[in-house]
Structure 1
């Protein structure tokens, strides 16, 4: 099983957003898309979700063109959460999460037992069961993000694509969300997330894909991808590195390097 694209070109409003883009992801891995603002991370995620069609290249899901799949099948296979993806009217949290089961149900059909179980499981995993009867306008931004993440989890799709899943979350819930995504990947789901926090990305992701200027700059384990040279050239920062008390290695962006450039030629692919 795999989800990927090769040699893709994406243009929007006459501008090249992604070029020469190749990426393949597999189940059971937590992949982080990182890079400076405007690097093309969210666009790449939308391409993988089938929401944007490349001008050149195509997205394949398990060896089949994603564009050739029926919309219902695509929705069952790929769950996605993007920024700004609210619901727009005062639904309860339980109703919001239940929207994730729509790809598995006939139009206007009631929730089956298997749907109820999936909804309850998703709310429990995101720690929002106590919010089940609250309506969307009464939620904080962090609670809303967790409800939307639960909606994506309720699909129980083989692939989960999430855009900035820790945005608006407090530190404790950021850690919970990242641990949850890693746990979901360990259960066999392929997880791809756009992330800005390099410390969290390096700690929880199996693989980091670094983008800059619409191109792939590095692809590998966190240690392979986030080298001191790359951090200076792509992000313009210096980092402190060390070992936490539990034996986990960490990286912490600490100061500006003064050397940031939009690196387009020195592409490193390591995994």
Structure 2
């Protein structure tokens, strides 16, 4: 399974949001989309999900233009979770998660054993079993985030697109969510996640795609993607680096870099 965009351009009026973007992600990869605010990360995710049409270029799923793939097939193969998405009406948590199984069910059909198992797995992965009977308006923002992520996971799609999946989560649940996404990818699904925490992105992702002003300026393993020069040019920060006792390397944005002028195109 491979999902990508070739020469993708997105314009809104006179403004270019994405500028000649090419990206390809395959099964088993955990790819982080990082970059300053307004760099085009969520727009790229929406393009890959088929929610917007490129002004130029094309989105491809296994070599086929995404627009030629039926909506039912896309819904089964590509699951998406977007930060800030609402639920729309009061529902119990388990009912919300169960919505993720709709692409696999015939019209008006009830849940079968496969649906029930997938729902249970998604709730276990996101650690929301104790919330099953809670109604959505009673949830905290962090709990709601985990419920929506569980709904996307319940699809058990070949590709998961996640927009800021750890926003609003406390540190422990951020670690849990990143470990869970890595587990999902290493079990065979492709995962593309928009992330702002460079420390967690570098620790858990296989690849980092760095965006700036609508362009991809780096696409490499974390240590190569987040070198000191790029951190200065794109993010305007300097970082501390080190090695944990377990041997894992880490990067920690520490201060604004000297003479930083904000976001600039490398």
What is the alpha-carbon distance in structure 2 between the residues aligned to residue 248 and residue 157 of structure 1?
Answer: 30
Partner of 2:134: 134
**Correspondence 1:149 to 2:149:** yes
Partner of 1:165: 165
Partner of 1:269: none
Partner of 2:81: 81
Q: Deviations over 1:61-115 (max 9, x none)?
A: 0011111111111100100000121212110000000000000011221111110
User: Judging changes above 3 Å, is the alpha-carbon distance between structure 1 residues 260 and 227 closer, same or farther for their aligned structure 2 residues?
Assistant: farther
Aligned-residue CA RMSD (Å): 1.0
Question: Are 1:235 and 1:260, in contact at CA under 8 Å, matched by a contact in 2?
Answer: no
What is the alpha-carbon distance in structure 2 between the residues aligned to residue 261 and residue 93 of structure 1?
Answer: 41
Partner of 2:260: 259
What's the CA shift for 1:245?
A: 1.8
What is the alpha-carbon distance in structure 1 between the residues aligned to residue 211 and residue 205 of structure 2?
Answer: 16
Partner of 2:102: 102
What's the CA shift for 1:262?
A: 3.9
Partner of 2:17: 17
Q: Which runs of 4+ in 1 moved over 6 A?
A: none
Equivalent position SS for 2:251? strand
What is the alpha-carbon distance in structure 2 between the residues aligned to residue 32 and residue 68 of structure 1?
Answer: 27
**Correspondence 1:55 to 2:59:** no
What's the CA shift for 1:260?
A: 4.2
Question: Are 1:159 and 1:191, in contact at CA under 8 Å, matched by a contact in 2?
Answer: yes
Equivalent position SS for 2:109? coil
**TM-score normalised by length of structure 1:** 0.96
User: Judging changes above 3 Å, is the alpha-carbon distance between structure 1 residues 260 and 183 closer, same or farther for their aligned structure 2 residues?
Assistant: farther
Q: How does 1:201-220 map to 2 (within 5 A)?
A: 201-220=201-220
What's the CA shift for 1:5?
A: 1.1
Equivalent position SS for 2:146? helix
What is the alpha-carbon distance in structure 2 between the residues aligned to residue 6 and residue 261 of structure 1?
Answer: 29
Partner of 1:182: 182
**TM-score normalised by length of structure 2:** 0.98
Question: Are 1:28 and 1:189, in contact at CA under 8 Å, matched by a contact in 2?
Answer: yes
Q: Report how many residues are paired.
A: 265
Partner of 2:236: 236
What is the alpha-carbon distance in structure 1 between the residues aligned to residue 14 and residue 189 of structure 2?
Answer: 35
What is the alpha-carbon distance in structure 1 between the residues aligned to residue 13 and residue 153 of structure 2?
Answer: 33
What's the CA shift for 1:159?
A: 0.2
Choose 46-55 or 84-93, whichever is displaced more. Answer: 84-93
What is the alpha-carbon distance in structure 1 between the residues aligned to residue 230 and residue 14 of structure 2?
Answer: 29
What is the alpha-carbon distance in structure 2 between the residues aligned to residue 255 and residue 140 of structure 1?
Answer: 31
What is the alpha-carbon distance in structure 2 between the residues aligned to residue 260 and residue 202 of structure 1?
Answer: 24
Equivalent position SS for 1:98? helix
Q: How does 1:62-73 map to 2 (within 5 A)?
A: 62-73=62-73
Q: Deviations over 1:148-170 (max 9, x none)?
A: 00000000000000000000000
Question: Are 1:234 and 1:260, in contact at CA under 8 Å, matched by a contact in 2?
Answer: no
Equivalent position SS for 2:169? coil
Q: How does 1:222-233 map to 2 (within 5 A)?
A: 222-233=222-233
Q: Flag structure 2 segments of 5+ consecutive residues without an equivalent.
A: none
Q: Deviations over 1:241-265 (max 9, x none)?
A: 001121110000000013245443x
Q: Flag structure 1 segments of 5+ consecutive residues without an equivalent.
A: 267-271
Partner of 2:192: 192
